Amino acid sequence: MRPSVKRPGNPPELAWLLDVTESRQPLSESSPIWVRHGSIEQGPPTPYPERHPYCEISIILEGQGTSFVEGEQIVRKAGELMLLGPGLPHWGRIQQYPLRFITAYFLPSVLIEMGPKSDGVRILRRFTARQSAASRLVHPPPKLLTHLKNLFEEMIEEFESDRFGREVKLRTLLLEQLVLLLRWEQSEGRNIGSEELELDWRAIMKTLQHLREHYSEPVYSRDLTRAAGISESRLKVLFHEALGLSWVKYLQGYRIYRAAALLNEGTHNVTEAALAVGFDSFAHFNKTFRSFMGVSPKQYKHIVFQKS
């Protein structure tokens, strides 16, 4: 397969970066994977430029388009996968219809929870490492592509079901997909994101552990630097390079996903959930919840109640 053509964007092509908005998918700690799919038969409609605090893996099944990632653009064809990390501004234009696609969003915690000694961190680095748009676009060989397509289709079926073990099965399908992809890349001599992995992630894992153990309490930079054993400036740079967002943003998201889980379980009302995850201002909790989940906590609880 001939590789897609990458071109650096010129000033007019970069104007879309001014319109980037924070997109929202209803992910939570209890439901950390969200799957979208569809077929666009005619134009325009062009998706809005966006970024989000999730990882994203997508595939084009039919059609062709141009993807914009930060300051670069690259042609995407059927059978190609795109890997995006948290905080990356991205956009797309459709060039050939119909465009059929499948996209899976997942929280970084799906991989982080596997622990520092597992391969979860190495997989996550494939999404979060600083790299070109061309490196984010993957061209699997035919046999592997067929397998990955089947896994994507299984994820859609599982995601849209309400069967026992749905969340466990979704994680299993996602992890199988990622392991197959990275094993193939390694066999091809590609090890994106593995450079200085141990040194970088030792401090990051200590920081994440502290955030997860103390998320319901006030957290300050000095606490994290003490836990990580590095300077505040180094932590700021390292955390953003590793996860694509600041530790403050990560903490906000972690608190909100924890709150959503409590609301989903029905064990807490909105005020109790806000206090349980470390918010002392309901107005701040309401605003932050809406920014991550797209609805207010009261609306979210109502939606959960309707589904149950």
For residue range 135-149, list pLDDT tens digits in order.
999 999 999 999 999
The bridge status of strand 90-106 relative to strand 33-40 is antiparallel
Q: Is the pLDDT of residue 7 over 90?
A: no
pLDDT of residue 112: 80
pLDDT of residue 5: 46
**In this structure, what are the phi and psi dihedrals at residue 262, rounded to the nearest 5 degrees?**
-65, -40
| pLDDT-based confidence at residue 198 (cuts at 50, 70, 90) | low
pLDDT of residue 302: 73
Q: Quick: pLDDT tens for 142-188.
A: 999 999 999 999 999 999 998 999 999 999 999 999 999 999 999 99
Q: Are 259 and 277 in contact (CB under 8 A)?
A: yes
Q: Is the pLDDT of residue 102 over 90?
A: yes
What is the pLDDT averaged over residues 206-221? 92
Whole-angstrom CA distances from 283 to 219, 249, 269, 274, 286 are: 19, 18, 15, 10, 5
Q: Is the pLDDT of residue 293 over 90?
A: no
Chain-centroid distance of CA 127 in Å reads: 8
Q: How far apart are CA 85 and CA 76, in angstroms?
A: 18
pLDDT of residue 308: 52
Q: Is the pLDDT of residue 118 over 90?
A: no
Whole-angstrom CA distances from 245 to 46, 60, 130 are: 26, 27, 12
Task: Tell me whether residue 140 is exposed, middle or buried, using C-beta atoms within 10 angstroms of its C-beta: 0 to 12, 13 to 18, 19 or more.
Answer: buried
Q: Is the pLDDT of residue 131 over 60?
A: yes
Q: Quick: pLDDT tens for 248-288.
A: 988 998 898 889 888 888 889 999 999 999 999 999 999 99
DSSP states of 226-264: HHHTS-HHHHHHHHHHHHSS-HHHHHHHHHHHHHHHHHH
Q: How far apart are CA 187 and CA 190, in angstroms?
A: 7
Instruction: Name the residue with higher pLDDT: 94 or 245.
Output: 94
pLDDT of residue 251: 92
Domains contained in the chain, CATH given: 6-187 (2.60.120.280), 197-307 (1.10.10.60)
Q: Are 65 and 99 in contact (CB under 8 A)?
A: yes
The two structure tokens encoding residue 14 = 């970069």
Q: Whole-prediction pTM value?
A: 0.80
What is the pLDDT averaged over residues 79-97? 92
Q: Quick: pLDDT tens for 31-56.
A: 899 999 999 988 655 567 888 888 99
Q: How far apart are CA 176 and CA 33, in angstroms?
A: 14
Q: Is the pLDDT of residue 9 over 70?
A: no
Q: Is the pLDDT of residue 8 over 50?
A: no
What is the pLDDT averaged over residues 70-89? 93
Residue of 252, 225, 223 whose CA lies nearest to 239: 225
Q: How far apart are CA 288 and CA 299, in angstroms?
A: 14
| Average pLDDT of the chain to the nearest whole number | 86
pLDDT of residue 30: 76
Q: Which of 83-87, 204-208, 216-220, 286-290 has the lowest mean pLDDT?
A: 204-208
Q: Quick: pLDDT tens for 218-239.
A: 999 999 999 999 999 999 988 8
Chain-centroid distance of CA 75 in Å reads: 22
pLDDT of residue 158: 97
Q: Is the pLDDT of residue 305 over 90?
A: no
| pLDDT-based confidence at residue 77 (cuts at 50, 70, 90) | very high
Q: Is the pLDDT of residue 116 over 80?
A: no
